[in-house]
Every structure is written in structure tokens, then in C-alpha cells.
């Protein structure tokens, strides 16, 4: 498995990202199971978007894949046929989770800092990343002095610095205003190429802009809709006709009530 971050474009390129297979997942209260014999495969090296309203279980699924949630979970989650190991996944939450007492640079380097593997090479790479996304003047600043968009940008860089083949994102841009969200979606789509990304969102536009494969999550116990494959390469613009009609379809599926 090899990963590279391009120094000039800051792109993360993953050559052999795994596919995530979820088999016979069962979880929830006995009378109202959230997941019942749920199986699903996340395609390798692609952006898969799970679309669904709040509380439908998408964050829970993400946390089961990251390993944060194991209690009461039955079933099997594997990365390319192997059980989940350390060092494979990176996590990006809705909150930027920047530590307020560390500078922006130190926050971006958080992973290596915590693992005790920080070295000069890391610092160099982080500085280059920060420069590339326009935060070059704020590397020593405290998170408190940054805008929401800048903070989430830094959080994105922190995620990239992990250089992991699987990236799990839990509604990473939903707390931002529309314009900033757009910019960050573009940035994310541009910087991450080749990793297996599972992004959870409630915004159909977001899925259409940056996802390769879109599923709608609904009902309880959870079932997935058929896959939607938007044409073109992300980041996509919404003025293409196919995109617009797919939006209508997604919306229809989202609001559809169980018959």
C-alpha cells in the first residue's frame, strides 16, 4: 500500500486503497433493531456518499467502521478481506476538533504528535500543505483566531496528514455556510485521490458534487437504496442536466415514506 502527497498540488494519492466489506451487521435495541443482518461493500479507492436524514444511523455505521463503536455490534467488518487493523482509517467529524491550545501547525501534526513519531519531514510536509490551501500566514495562530472555514480546512489537512488509505467523514462540512462549504468540498475533492472515502451527509448536493457512488440510507432496520452514479469527475457543477435530474431522484427517495 503506498501513499503519496504531491508537494506542489498537495494531492494525496493512494495506490492500493482497500474495499470495506460489511457483513451481516446487527445492532440496536431488541424491539427496534437499527441494523439487522445488514451487508454492504464500500468500493475501493472511491468516494462513497451515504445520504440520509438525521438519526437514520449513518453516523453509527461510520463509528462501527472506525472501531469507536464495538459494544453490542454483531457481524463482520473487513478491509480487503482482512480484519480491521491499526493505522488504516482517518476520521473527520462535523466539528473541526482542533485543540485550542495548539497552533494550527501543531494541530495539523496532531496524529504524529500523539503517536510520538513527529519528525522534521512531517513539519515540512504540513507547512507545504498549509501553504497550498492558503493558510500559510496562520501556521502559528491559535484556532480561536480563525474562521469556521479556515478551521475546517486545517481539520481536513490534519486528516490528510494521517496518510491513511481509508478516510471516514461524518458530515464534515454541514456546519459551514454555503459558500465556505462549496470551497471546502472542492478542496477535499481535489486533494484526495485514490483513498477509499466514506462520507456521510444529509445534503444531496454535496453527494452529487463530490461523490462517486451515492446510496440513500433509510428505514429502520436500515436498508440502502440502489446506487446512484453521477456522471463526470468531482467536483461537479450543478448546472449539468443529468446532475439536476439525479438531484430530483435523490430528493424523492429521501422524502419517500415506507408504504
Q: What residue ranges bind other proteins (CB under 8 A)?
A: 63, 66-68, 86-87, 89-91, 93, 95-97, 99-101, 110-111, 113-116, 142-144, 148, 151, 162, 168
Q: Select 113 or 123, whichever has its Cβ closest to other proteins.
A: 113
Q: Report the nearest approach of other proteins to the CB of residue 53 (Å).
A: 21
Q: Select 18 or 111, whichever has its Cβ closest to other proteins.
A: 111
Q: Select 108 or 208, whichever has its Cβ closest to other proteins.
A: 108
Q: Report the nearest approach of other proteins to the CB of residue 214 (Å).
A: 24
Q: Report the nearest approach of other proteins to the CB of residue 250 (Å).
A: 28
Q: Report the nearest approach of other proteins to the CB of residue 132 (Å).
A: 22
Q: Select 125 or 209, whichever has its Cβ closest to other proteins.
A: 125
Q: Report the nearest approach of other proteins to the CB of residue 236 (Å).
A: 29
The DSSP annotation for the chain comes to --EEE-TTT--EEESSPPPEEEEEEEEEETTEEEEEEEEEEEPTTSEEEEE--TTSSHHHHHHHHHTS--TT-EEEEEETTEE--TTSEEEE-SS----TTS-HHHHHTHHHHHHT---HHHHHHHHHHHHHTT-GGGTTS-GGGS-HHHHHHHHHHHHHHT--SEEEEESTTTTS-HHHHHHHHHHHHHHEESSEEEEEES-HHHHHHH-SEEEEEETTTTEE---B--SSPSSPPTTSHHHHHHHHHHHHHHHPPP-
Give every CB contact of residue 106 below 8 A, 6+ residues apart in sequence: 99, 113
Q: How many CB atoms lie within 10 A of CB 185?
A: 22
Q: Report the nearest approach of other proteins to the CB of residue 68 (Å).
A: 5
Q: Select 90 or 135, whichever has its Cβ closest to other proteins.
A: 90
Q: Select 17 or 246, whichever has its Cβ closest to other proteins.
A: 17
Amino acid at each position: 500500500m503506498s501513499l503519496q502527497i504531491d508537494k506542489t498540488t498537495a494531492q494525496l494519492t493512494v495506490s492500493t486503497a482497500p474495499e470495506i466489506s460489511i457483513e451481516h451487521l446487527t445492532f440496536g435495541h431488541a424491539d427496534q433493531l437499527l441494523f439487522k443482518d445488514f451487508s454492504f461493500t464500500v468500493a475501493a479507492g472511491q468516494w462513497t456518499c451515504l445520504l440520509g436524514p438525521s438519526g437514520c444511523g449513518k453516523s453509527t455505521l461510520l463509528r462501527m467502521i472506525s472501531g469507536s463503536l464495538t459494544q453490542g455490534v454483531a457481524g463482520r467488518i473487513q478491509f480487503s478481506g482482512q480484519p480491521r487493523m491499526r493505522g488504516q482509517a482517518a476520521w473527520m467529524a462535523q466539528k473541526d476538533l482542533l485543540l485550542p491550545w495548539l497552533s494550527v501547525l501543531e494541530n495539523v501534526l496532531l496524529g504524529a504528535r500523539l503517536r510520538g513519531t513527529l519528525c522534521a519531514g512531517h513539519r515540512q510536509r504540513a507547512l507545504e500543505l498549509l501553504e497550498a490551501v492558503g493558510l500559510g500566514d496562520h501556521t502559528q495562530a491559535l484556532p480561536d483566531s480563525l474562521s469556521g472555514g479556515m478551521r475546517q480546512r486545517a481539520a481536513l489537512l490534519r486528516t490528510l496528514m494521517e496518510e491513511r488509505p481509508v478516510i471516514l467523514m461524518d458530515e464534515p462540512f454541514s456546519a459551514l455556510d454555503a459558500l465556505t462549504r462549496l470551497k471546502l468540498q472542492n478542496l477535499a475533492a481535489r486533494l484526495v485521490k485514490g483513498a477509499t472515502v466514506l462520507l456521510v451527509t444529509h445534503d444531496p448536493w454535496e453527494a452529487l458534487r463530490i461523490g462517486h457512488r451515492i446510496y440513500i440510507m433509510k428505514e429502520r432496520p436500515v436498508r440502502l437504496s440502489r446506487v446512484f452514479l453521477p456522471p463526470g469527475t468531482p467536483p461537479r457543477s450543478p448546472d449539468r442536466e443529468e446532475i439536476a435530474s439525479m438531484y430530483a431522484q435523490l430528493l424523492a427517495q429521501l422524502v419517500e415514506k415506507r408504504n
